[in-house]
Structure 1
Amino acid sequence: MKIKFYGFFLIFNFTFLIFNCLYSQEINITSDRMEYDKLNSKSVFSGNVKLKAGDVSLSCAHAEMDINKKDIYLTNAFFTSCNLDHPHYRYYAKRVHLILEKEITAHNVVFYIDDIPSGVLPYYYKSLHQKKLKIDFKHGYNQSEDYFSKGFIGYKFSEQFFSKIYLDYYSYKGWGYGIEEIYNVGSKMQGSIYGYHIWEHDTRIRRWNARIYHQQNFTDTWSAQINSNLASDESFNNFYTRDWIRIYRDVNSSVAFTRNTGTSTGRILFSRRDVFNADDNKYLLTGMTVPSISYITNQLKIKKLPLYYEFSANGEKTWLRSEDFYRTNADSSLKFTNPLRLTRKITLTSAAGVKTNFQDRLNKEDTKDIYRWTYNTDLNLDIRSLNFLDHQFGYYFEQEPDKRHDDYRGVIADKLRTNHSAYFDNLTVRAWTGLDIRRRHNEKIVNFRERLDGITSELDYSPYNFLNLYYKNDYNVFYEKPNSVQLNSELRLGPDRFDKSKETAYLKNGFSYNRSEPNRLTFIGEVGLRPTTNWQVAYKMQSTFSYDFTEHRNNFKDYRYYERSVNVYRDLHCWEANFSYLDRVPLKAGERNFYEFWFNIRIKSNLTYKSDTADLERERKWYPWR
């Protein structure tokens, strides 16, 4: 009994000593035999030694631990981050050095896939700190470049700053370099600075892109926004980024300072607009605002009166290349509103206002000041006939008194409008239109159909939590055909439709029609399947075909596709593989169809870390260029 007691006491004291010397870090070492040198604070483990450091499991025949220095030397060791009993891959080295909570290093390392030696590494290093370094490269082939390799090396300097260095190689165009700084300092400041440059060897053209997005809150009321986009040419995005806008024919840059008090908003804005000139093959400055100053209030209640008021004022100095002079504009508006509740379900809202406008010149030669003012009235009747049915009827009138002797007697707007909405549990239906009744002097309105804005109807239907249908139709009564039609459907299957990682399948389709491109219907479709937890397959396409709302003989015959892509992902437990194929039509006449495919396989890391600075969803939303 005493022997058992002292044995238990020795193990307890040894465990207590290790946990105190190692600052209670989590490490568990098992072996067939252990020898402890209390004088030198060293331990020797032998026989089936196993331990775990971070996401790495290590096993060896012999290990020595220096408790004071917090390091372990392993002899004839295997190590891997695959947590299976028979791992998919592992490393072997005659001697491995492990520093707890810091790193693992080894020399002359043999890499095994299953039990087959598959490679040799002269040096192995793995940090056990929170993962800061991210390396992501993909290799592939496309129609214009043959072989290419694209990727980045990212490093998280802190919780607020994340940096990326882009390294791309193209067979014909050579090396491309880029850098991006992403920062997110809580609610005070966030943004991104991005730059990319490539000297194309085959075309001898220098191409580049620079973007800045910055938002900063100085105080509770003052903030600043910077948004800049500069590029060497309009089609840069089509070749070197993943931006959903493939051609930028015009780019806008701006700097704004905003003050928001909750009841009013003031802003100072500097902006410029550049348009790409194909003859000079570069962007040309076409317009500037230096600056624009605006102030606008919310709808505010007037004390002791059943009235609300809104006020806005704006002044700006602008320059246009087409005019080549600076023009000063200023405008203001004041509006009074009186909501009158007639019954529990009927509300009549009347409003009256005045607008002023100032311009310091008409053109470069005529520098005479121009001053205009108008008054307007607005009447709106809201009726809730049933608990699920709303109706709105409105009338708007605006006139410029100084022009009462022109053809329209100074009337700028004279319009009727109506809006009807029905709300059910899973269905929302809306329909609205407007009628222009402005007339010239002594003019009689003969045909009201040509004065109708168009009858717009909208339907949003979700019969189940995994299915959504949306339909919108803007019907032109005069031409007896739609101005535009949109039909979308989305189906998501899985235990939680809001968690994409648990989806088993999804299907998204969309049809659209616009009268500016008659007899053509555009279709966008995307389908994704997860047949097992390890496989994901996605297909996406965009195409058009002939369609006429009045003549149906040639419908769906003239088929053309714009883009189609396939993506296959395979989760191999500690490995992951990804294959992608893209095929799309050229943007310019005479060019061949563009296609590319790439394949990537890599070892996953079990150290999952989510950073507010480098969050992927935020990157896709705010910084979509890479």
Structure 2
Amino acid sequence: MAAAFSYAAYGADAISADSKPNTASPLFISGDTLVYDDTGSEITGEGNIILKQEGTSLFADRIYINNETGDVSAEGNVLFISGDSKVQTDRMFYNIKTKSAYTKDVHLLRHPWIARGKKMMKDGKKWELETPVFTTCDREHPHYRMEASMIYLYEDDKIEAWNTVVYIGMVPVFYFPYFAYPLKGRQAPFDFKFGHNDYSGWYVYTKYNFYLDYLNFGSVGFDYLEKQGNRYSLGLNYGFNEKSTGHFNGFYNLEKITNTGRWSVNYGHSHVFDERSRATVNFNSASDRDLNKDFLDSKVDPYRQDADIYYATSFGGHSFGIRAADSQQLNTITAKYYTASRTLPSINYSMTSAQILPRVYYNHSLNYSRTLPLMETEYNDYAVFVPNLQLSLPPMGPASFSASAGLNSRWENAERDKKWGAFYNSMTSSETLSLNLFPGILYSTISHSFARLLNKADTLPYTGITNNSMSASAGLSLANLRLTSSTSYNLLLNREEVENDRDRFSMLNLNASTNLEGAYFTANGTYSIFANRIKSLSSGFSLSDKNNSIWTVAAHTNFISNQIDYNERPQAGVPDVITFDTGFSFSLTEEFKVSATRSYDLVNKQLYSHSYSITWFVHCWEAYFTWSKRQDGVEDVYFTIYISALPEFKVNKPSSAAPNYNLLFNQMGQ
């Protein structure tokens, strides 16, 4: 006869079917037979035992519970579930008060990991597994496994292992003194890639990814490059706490032929003092301009070296910031860096808009900077104060109107002039009319902007007017079709400066796109109203099966007319540009996929870049083989393999007390 009852796990004087559960720690027990002594302090049960308490479930054939001490002993097909972790064993000791557990010869499942070990201990949310074998491959004969001296699993955080050896099949391939992996993430424990290209020759890239916690993780890499020599890399994300975090990425290579050190560094740190104040530091540097050419996976900008420190805060509608920055630019002739700009410091203050009258708002800003200009040795000082008024009228049917007007008071001083500098005052204004003819379908915007210098304008053209222009844009959104266009009109130029009024127009920008089920099309173009000629035109489309899982086909074409420049003036000797790009991917089976991209120069009638890839999904692995040729003629052939999307595991209570997982594990320790 089956029996079931619940009782309070802590401090129950007696156990009975009528006991009211303690909502702080309720305990439910059921089984074919349940027997308890006269005092109610001990329970024995047999047959399809189920024990549940606060997110913890235990299934077994037999059970013994001591309510005074909280000790539980379960035997026979034991399945223990705590949170997302599942344990299968023959005998387990558990304490319902301390939530600790102990067992031997255990199988542990914690997505995505499957493990077995000689001993397991649980203390709160920390699990320990001695001499484990673990993997994410749920095949009877796992494709890979890892063996370690000890595993520590921290619920909702990470799994870490010491003295870990990685096996592929029966062959040991890697050793890690320390290995960690986030339980909420998809980072592979290691990356491996080898191949050949024109600059590096034969190469092998290896990377070990480590994880300490959700703030502190990174990677260490060692690469062999036949022509350049060995390369050492480090990637690090760190955090002292959630408000103080940073990153570091860099590598070092001792050039094989010249014995010269080559390197790149990227560093950044952000500290949040409170919800209104923060500080940041950034630094980028590289040894030479050829890093991206010689190291095809390099992602640095070797032409610039930047350093920047910034602090910002806000209070009561006001904001304040101070910055110091330095930027070095590479001289491609001398191969040396020179100062492109240096700011020591830049100070910014602004006040957010405040309503002073109905529909009228006021704001202002004050900025000061001390800057070393390009190729100069002495600094310039700039200070600008900008008060501004804004007017926003309520919508009138499909139309809405807004306007702004402001003053700009600027002080400039150059150290080389040995003077006190000069003041410049100017005014600015803008007006915007928006028309929403059919809400969400047809809309347009017309704007006018004006700027004029109020002093020292005697010798300037246009009596000090620096800007007088109009701009217009329009859009149509109908079902899956999107159309937009925009242009501007220069009112400042004199009649003598233009050939006709069409010369006042900027390029007309046209865009169109549509997105249907499995099909996407886009087109963009620029048209010269003055020259009555298309300057550029591009279009592309992509097609795929309904779920985008079997095949995709894409093409893109680009045309640039160089008969006129971007100032819409005729030019000679510059050929037009016409390119055509294609791409496709096709899954031959669920495990095998091929893809290719090709780019053609239709003017010179040549294929200037291409790439062909084969992807092989091997259950818990992905393998890639790629052959590519870049536009600069560099060919690259490489093969890489890594752990892919990790399998899902589901544990359900069957008719018997626990499932048999031996088929998953019986080969892992051999």
Deviations 1:499-545 (A, max 9, x none): xxxx3333444434455675013445443333432223332344433
Contact 1:232 1:283 in 2 (8 A): no
Tell me the distance in 2 between the aligned counterparts of 1:274 and 1:121. 44
Question: Which residue matches 2:434?
Answer: 382
SS at match of 2:346: strand
For residue 605 of structure 2, the aligned residue among 558, 562, 572 is 558
Q: CA deviation at 1:89?
A: 4.7
**Pair 1:17-2:73 in alignment:** yes
Contact 1:264 1:296 in 2 (8 A): yes
Distance 1:565 1:216, change over 3 A: farther
Question: Which residue matches 1:552?
Answer: none
Q: CA deviation at 1:162?
A: 0.3
Tell me the distance in 2 between the aligned counterparts of 1:564 and 1:212. 34
Matches within 5 A, 1:303-452: 304-341=357-394, 343-361=396-414, 364-365=416-417, 367=419, 369-387=421-439, 388-402=441-455, 403-404=457-458, 406-440=460-494, 443=496, 447-452=500-505
SS at match of 1:218: strand
Tell me the distance in 2 between the aligned counterparts of 1:92 and 1:214. 35
Contact 1:221 1:260 in 2 (8 A): yes
Structure 1 residues without counterparts, runs of 5 or longer: 498-502, 547-556, 587-592, 610-626
Question: Which residue matches 2:278?
Answer: 223
Contact 2:104 2:120 in 1 (8 A): no
Tell me the distance in 2 between the aligned counterparts of 1:80 and 1:509. 41
Instruction: Give, as a single letter, the amino acid of the residue that structure 2 aligns with 1:384.
Output: N
Q: CA deviation at 1:231?
A: 0.3
Tell me the distance in 2 between the aligned counterparts of 1:312 and 1:64. 69
Tell me the distance in 2 between the aligned counterparts of 1:106 and 1:249. 43
Contact 2:351 2:365 in 1 (8 A): yes
Deviations 1:312-361 (A, max 9, x none): 22210011352211110112222212223472222232332211221113
**Pair 1:281-2:330 in alignment:** no
Q: Which 10-residue stretch deviates more, 306-315 or 156-165? A: 306-315
**Pair 1:475-2:522 in alignment:** no
**Pair 1:195-2:250 in alignment:** yes
Contact 1:536 1:569 in 2 (8 A): yes
Tell me the distance in 1 between the aligned counterparts of 2:128 and 2:416. 79
How many pairs are equivalent? 552
Q: Normalised by the size of structure 1, how large is the TM-score?
A: 0.74
Deviations 1:203-255 (A, max 9, x none): 3322110111333322111122322210001221333353567x642343322
Q: CA deviation at 1:367?
A: 3.5
Tell me the distance in 2 between the aligned counterparts of 1:274 and 1:472. 36
Distance 1:171 1:98, change over 3 A: closer
Contact 1:346 1:381 in 2 (8 A): yes
Deviations 1:133-172 (A, max 9, x none): 8221212222233321112112111221002112111123
For residue 204 of structure 2, the aligned residue among 149, 154, 158 is 149
Question: Which residue matches 2:56?
Answer: none
Q: Identical aligned pairs, as a percentage?
A: 17
Distance 1:605 1:198, change over 3 A: same
SS at match of 1:409: helix
Question: Which residue matches 2:224?
Answer: 169
Matches within 5 A, 1:498-537: 503-514=549-560, 515=562, 518-537=575-594
Q: CA deviation at 1:462?
A: 1.9
Instruction: Give, as a single letter, the amino acid of the residue that structure 1 aligns with 2:400.
Output: T
Contact 2:196 2:637 in 1 (8 A): yes
Matches within 5 A, 1:449-460: 449-460=502-513
Bigger RCO of structures 1 and 2 (CA < 8 A, at least 6 apart): 2
Question: Which residue matches 2:23?
Answer: none
Contact 2:191 2:641 in 1 (8 A): no
Question: Which residue matches 1:134?
Answer: 189
Tell me the distance in 1 between the aligned counterparts of 2:307 and 2:339. 11
Contact 2:598 2:607 in 1 (8 A): no
Tell me the distance in 2 between the aligned counterparts of 1:159 and 1:487. 43
Distance 1:11 1:337, change over 3 A: closer
Distance 1:186 1:197, change over 3 A: same
Tell me the distance in 1 between the aligned counterparts of 2:120 and 2:514. 67
Tell me the distance in 1 between the aligned counterparts of 2:385 and 2:128. 72
Instruction: Give, as a single letter, the amino acid of the residue that structure 2 aligns with 1:577.
Output: A
SS at match of 1:579: strand
For residue 570 of structure 1, the aligned residue among 612, 616, 619 is 616
Distance 1:18 1:238, change over 3 A: farther
Question: Which residue matches 1:27?
Answer: 87
Contact 1:270 1:289 in 2 (8 A): yes
Question: Which residue matches 1:618?
Answer: none
Question: Which residue matches 2:640?
Answer: 600
For residue 308 of structure 2, the aligned residue among 254, 267, 292 is 254
**Pair 1:204-2:254 in alignment:** no
Q: Which 10-residue stretch deviates more, 272-281 or 483-492? A: 483-492
Q: Normalised by the size of structure 2, how large is the TM-score?
A: 0.70
**Pair 1:300-2:354 in alignment:** yes
SS at match of 1:28: strand
Distance 1:260 1:170, change over 3 A: same
Question: Which residue matches 2:661?
Answer: none
Q: CA deviation at 1:414?
A: 1.6
Instruction: Give, as a single letter, the amino acid of the residue that structure 1 aligns with 2:503.
Output: E
Instruction: Give, as a single letter, the amino acid of the residue that structure 1 aligns with 2:512.
Output: L
**Pair 1:237-2:298 in alignment:** no
The two structures, once aligned, show a CA RMSD in angstroms of 4.5
Tell me the distance in 1 between the aligned counterparts of 2:202 and 2:545. 38
Matches within 5 A, 1:72-87: 82-85=137-140, 87=141
Instruction: Give, as a single letter, the amino acid of the residue that structure 1 aligns with 2:478.
Output: F
Tell me the distance in 1 between the aligned counterparts of 2:210 and 2:629. 33
Contact 2:166 2:175 in 1 (8 A): no
Tell me the distance in 2 between the aligned counterparts of 1:179 and 1:160. 16
Question: Which residue matches 1:549?
Answer: none
Tell me the distance in 2 between the aligned counterparts of 1:73 and 1:443. 89
